[in-house]
A and B are shown apart, each in its own frame.
Chain A
Amino acid sequence: MKYPLQGNTDLAVLKPFNYSPAGSVQDLQFSRWLAEFSPRSLLWLALLACLWPGIVLAQSNYTMAQALDALWRWLPFVVSKGFVLNLVVSFLTMLIGTIAGVILGLGQISPIRAVARTSWFVTQLFRNSPWLVLLFIVMLAFPFEITIGSTVYQIPDWLKAVFGLALPIMANISEIVRGAIQSVPTGQWEAAESLAYTRQQTLWLVILPQCFKRMIPPWMNWYAILTMATPLISLLGVEEIVTLSRQAMEAEDNHPELLVPFFGFALIIFFAYCYPIARYTLRLEKRFAIIQ
């Protein structure tokens, strides 16, 4: 437990600052409230929330019922071709970002000064740049195709997007790794050193196993943030959920009544995917906080 603002008396002037990027304990109220509804009524409620502006427009000739019908017809396409791609991109990005991030994070605590400084600089650079800017840069800087041997491989746009998104993920994972390692008391390093462990052995056998657990909640939190960033690649023409939704609306003659159901559906499907992750992250965080 960290008590901020502890004075030179032993009385805590302020209680611990209990903020988690993954959410708050108060969420429990909301999920309990949600749990009180049957799944069906929840669906109705969600639909109703999306429909309210439509009810205002009841007089137009293209009715909300028709718009919903269109959504229903396009739904399998939008989900199986669009949202699934969002998920594929998020998995791959997380994989690449984590591997690169762990290396960069270990680089940040390297005893070689040049390595540590460079790793720190790279981390800060990609942590503080907007994701969209990084995406554009990677999209434009990356070649369209690469030649290995005599075969020419076309690099699809979505794969380039994976690299673009992996950069900020890498930088943030790097910070998590550095923070977790530095949170292990220095006594652990000294104890291992006195047992004649090498630095590498200390790191892999003593330090990392200890801080592995506390890296999981922030790592999951970044996964949720990443998933919510995947629609950005629609701005670069990748055919994920937003792009396909817009195409579907075009195919349905761009009736304005389509906008609320289609975008509303995109919001709901992301919420349905990310909210449980946030809940689970919070639960893990609390559990690990008690163990420590």
Chain B
Amino acid sequence: MSDTAWTPDQPLVSIRDVHKSFGDLEVLKGVSLDVMKGEVICIIGPSGSGKSTLIRCVNALNTIDRGSIMVEGQEVHDPDLDKLELRKKVGMVFQQYNLFPHKTALENVMMAPLKVLKQPPDEVEKRARALIDRVNLTGKEGAYPGELSGGQQQRVAIARSLAMNPDVMLFDEVTAALDPETVNEVLLAIKDLAQDGMTCILVTHEMGFAREVADHIYFTDRGIIVEHGPPTTFFSEAKDPRTQEFLSQIL
């Protein structure tokens, strides 16, 4: 459906001059960034700076007012967008896990491939068990979300997203609602994913994690990207005073 076929040497996600307002409040004022296949990028910044809105626009949970977001050559900002096609490519994990409370961990992981992709049950179950295994939750397949800790629930949510075999994963402050002692297990699961070559876009407050895992870091404030760079230079050589102030508060 796109004009030119996408090839892996082009950006997997390409965000160009995106504007977005909620009523009178403009939360994105012309944001542009590219994510190549296999790249891990982290978006940091004070709350209310539009980071979450930006990644929610990538899988069309929010619409944009102006600009363009391309995922594998497919324009997201398109009224005739095939949302299912998009969401097969883009997985998302939320701050508040948002597991389906009436389904077990295994059922949560299996639900979308079964109901949306209509794949055969035994194949889906095999893959789901492997994914639960991968996020280190073997033995918890039959547990309901209410019986799991926050960290465990968030790992199920990651497995649930992976079950759709996405090409890119979005993480929206996935550790913000967790108890400090369970943050690490979730970060480990994401790191494992990143090292496997999964393209990831993370909105996070975990600076240590960003420094370790990210290929590129973007700092946003009041709807624009103030500064960006690879972690090696980003933390030590921040030029903009807003970035410096933010980093001094958080590090």
Contact = CB atoms under 8 A, between A and B. Distances in A.
- The answer to A–B direct touch (Cβ < 8 A) is yes
B101 A11 contact: no
Interface of A (DSSP majority class): loop
A7 interface: yes
Interface string A101-128: 0000000000000000000000000000
B177 A13 contact: no
B39 to A, nearest CB: 31
A9 interface: yes
Contact of A13 (B146, B147, B149, B150): B146
Interface string B93-106: 00011000100000
A9 to B, nearest CB: 5
Contacts of B146: 5, 7-8, 13
Given A11-B96, A11-B177, A5 B101 contact: yes
Nearest to B177: A11
Contact of B153 (A5, A9, A14): A9
A5 B102 CA distance: 10
Nearest to A11: B96
A85 to B, nearest CB: 51
Question: How many A residues are at the interface, by size bracket?
Answer: under 10
Contacts of B101: 5, 7, 13-14
A129 B97 CA distance: 46
B145 to A, nearest CB: 7
Contacts of A8: 146-147, 149
Contacts of A13: 101, 145-146
Interface string A1-19: 0000101110101100000
A13 B177 CA distance: 14
Given A8-B149, A9-B150, 5 more contacts: A5-B101, A8-B147, A9-B153, A11-B96, A11-B97
A148 to B, nearest CB: 63
11 contacts: A5-B101, A7-B101, A7-B145, A7-B146, A9-B153, A11-B96, A11-B97, A11-B177, A13-B101, A13-B145, A13-B146
Contacts of B177: 11
Contacts of B96: 11
A14 B101 CA distance: 9
Interface in B146-199: 146-147, 149-150, 153, 177
Nearest to B96: A11
Interface string B121-158: 00000000000000000000000011101100100000
Contacts of A11: 96-97, 177
A173 B114 CA distance: 50
Contacts of A9: 149-150, 153
A9 B147 CA distance: 9
A8 B149 CA distance: 8
A111 B250 CA distance: 59
B164 to A, nearest CB: 23
